[in-house]
Structure 1
C-alpha cells in the first residue's frame, strides 16, 4: 500500500468519526465544545456571501451552547449559528473540514494536503455510491464549479 493510499484511508476514517460525533450530538442534545475549521471555497460549502467575503479561504465555527438545527447527512452537515446577531444556516461537506477539535476530550483530527487534493475524488466516490443505489446523477455534480 502506498503512503498516499494509506493517508486517504485514514482521512476517510476521520471523516466517519466526525459524522458519527455530530450525529450523536444532533440526536441526544448533548452539549459539545467543538471547534471546526473548514475551507470556505470548497464546492458544496454554503455560507452567506458576507461571510464568504470575510473568510475567503478558511473559517472556524464553534459548536457549544448557541447552535441550532444540527442535521447530519451522508457527506455533509448543516447547522444554524448566530453571526453579528443574525441566525444563519450553513452547510459544510465533511471533505471541506481542515481541523476538528473536541475541546472536552482534547482530541484533534487534522487533515493534511492529501485530503484537500482528494476532495474531488472523495466527492466522485460518493456520487458513484449513490448512482450504484439506483439514483441518477448529473455529470455537473462531478465538476468543480
Structure 2
C-alpha cells in the first residue's frame, strides 16, 4: 500500500465522472433551460482532436462554449466528440476528459477547476526530503498540551 491516500487524484476522477454524467444527459435530452457550458481544455493533450488552424491559434489551451448551436455530441468513457461553430465554420472536436482544465455552467454558478502539478526533478527531490523529515517527526515522542488555559 502507498504511503498516503491520493485525495487529489481521487477528487479529479470523481469530478470527471460528474462531467461525464452531465454530458451524457445532455447527449440524450439536450441542454435544459438556460444551462450552457464553458469548457477549457489542454490543446496539447495527445488525444485531443481539433483542426490544425485551431491548434495553431490556441497552442496551449482553448475555451469552447456549448450553448445555442452544437451538434454531434457523442460521449464515451474517455471524453466527448462535438461539432461547434467557429465564425460560421462548423468544426468537429474531440476533448478527452483528462484534457479538461475547467468546466463551468454560469447559468447556475457552478464550476470545476482541475489543478495540474508538473513535477520536475527538483520538486521530486524536495518531496523525498519532506518524506524523510516527516518520518523523523513521526518518531519523536508525543507532546501533551493542556487546554485548561482556554477553558472558561
| TM-score for the superposition, normalised by structure 1 | 0.75
The alignment covers a number of residue pairs equal to 115
1:40-73 superposed Cα distances (whole Å, 9 cap, x missing partner): 0001000000000000000000000011111100
The answer as to 2:83 corresponding to 1:80 is yes
The answer as to 2:59 corresponding to 1:59 is no
| TM-score for the superposition, normalised by structure 2 | 0.71
Q: Which 5+ residue runs of structure 1 have no aligned equivalent?
A: 118-145
Give the deviation of 1:83 after TM superposition.
Answer: 1.2
Partner of 1:9: 10
The answer as to 2:84 corresponding to 1:91 is no
State how far apart, in whole Å, the 2-side matches of 1:2 and 1:60 are: 34
State how far apart, in whole Å, the 2-side matches of 1:86 and 1:43 are: 24
Structure 1 stretches (4+) deviating beyond 2 angstroms? none
Q: Which 5+ residue runs of structure 2 have no aligned equivalent?
A: 120-152
Partner of 2:128: none
Larger Rg: 2
Please state whether the residue corresponding to 1:52 is helix, strand or coil. helix
What is the aligned counterpart of 2:41 among 38, 43, 49? 38
Alpha-carbon RMSD: 1.6
